[in-house]
Structure 1
Amino acid sequence: MDAVTHFSLLARYNVWATARLLAAVQVLPEADYRRDMGLFFRSIHGTLNHLLVGEHLLWFARFAEGASPRMALDAEVESDRARLAERLREGAARWEPLIAGFAPARWLGALSYTTMRGTPAVLPFAATLAHVFNHGTHHRGQITAALTALGQPCPSLDLVYFLQNPDTP
């Protein structure tokens, strides 16, 4: 499988998994949604904000614009939970068109950016993009663990389940 096909698949999976997770989170009472669950970013709300910051405001800008925004990884950039969910869905939908536009040589190159600490960094392009999608999977897993701890049902978010059921909402 070529890089564009592979990463386009991951981008579609990201859209699907994000939608399924947000549907599961939507039913939570506000107190549970914002409760400190012992996650790295404390609450489900804090973790979703981190996904918005990391995946969409930082990494997307690095890949799409060559920009290196600086903001705290635990910043609450969206306090309203409905608007946060909307922004996460919109952000997830932007990756596949971006990936489709990368020139073939880009996949073998590097991504240069400035870290949050102001240090220049150069990383392998494809491996770093893999990190973006892996990062989202990691934090969605934390949120599903929090849902379980709250006694809530969790959607199946496995990539294999997506491959078998890509049209399942």
Structure 2
Amino acid sequence: MNKATFQLLAQYNLWATQGLVKHLKKMPDDDFHQDVGLFFKTISGTLNHLLLGEHYLWYPRFKEEVSPRIALDHTIHTEKYVLLNELEQKSQNWIDFVATIPESMLNGNLTYQRASGQTLTLPYAATLLHVFNHGTHHRGQVTAAMTVLGYACPELDLVYMLAEKNQA
């Protein structure tokens, strides 16, 4: 994996988050907070987990080399628009961060502490890949829940972003 791959993944992460947020802003609060059987129960719970994981746990681990101790089900925001806006705004941080990573760092390791206090050392590139894969996983859960609730979903496959950028 090279730096260009991670730059593409960071761009995709922002693009997919923006597309999802655009659709979710139209959803009534009751449906946004309804238990639809997801691991984190609701769309809001799943997005809180995504915000927490991507931006409150992993970003500080990579950018600041600190390991915050926050439970994975901690609620950051209960108000829909605040949650959606922060999720969208913070996604830009990954683009900025990946631009600063020396290519050589991708061949190294990342050492951090889990919330339990356990120290882990993992391959840097594969762990960064996990961050973007994790976002894709949870956006997929949210779009499945939207479909069950009867809402239209954005096309979030990477090829749609590539086609859109190719047409621009």
TM-score, with length taken from structure 2: 0.96
The sequence identity of aligned pairs, in percent, is 47
Residue 32 of structure 2 corresponds to 33
Q: Deviations over 1:8-42 (max 9, x none)?
A: 11101111100100111111111100000100110
What secondary structure, in the 3-state scheme, does the structure 1 residue paired with 2:165 have? Answer: coil
- TM alignment of 1:14-163, pairs within 5 A: 14-163=13-162
Output the amino acid matched with 2:51.
L
For residues 136 and 102 of structure 2, the distance between their equivalents in structure 1, rounded to whole angstroms, comes to 26
Quote the offset at 1:166 in angstroms.
3.1
CA RMSD of aligned residues (A): 1.3
Displacement over 2 Å in runs of 4+: none
Q: Which amino acid aligns with 2:139?
A: R
Per-residue Cα deviation, 1:61-107 (whole angstroms, up to 9, x for no partner):
00000010011111111121111111111110000111111122201
Structure 1 72/167 Cα, relative in aligned 2: closer, same or farther at 3 Å? farther
**Runs of 5+ in structure 2 lacking a partner?**
none
Distance 1:102 1:83 in 2: 30
CA, structure 1 residues 54+167, in 2 after alignment: closer, same or farther (shift >3 Å)?
farther
CA 1:107/1:75 → structure 2, altered by over 3 Å: closer, same or farther? same
Q: Deviation of residue 167 (structure 1)? A: 8.0
**Partner SS for 1:128:** helix
Contact residue 110 and residue 122 of structure 2 kept, 8 A: yes
Amino acid aligned to 1:126: A
List runs of 5+ in structure 1 lacking aligned partners: none
**Which SS does the other structure have where 1:63 is aligned?**
helix
Provide the C-alpha distance between the structure 2 equivalents of 1:145 and 1:167, rounded to a whole number of angstroms. 28
3-state SS of paired residue (1:166): helix
**Amino acid corresponding to residue 127 of structure 2 in structure 1:** T
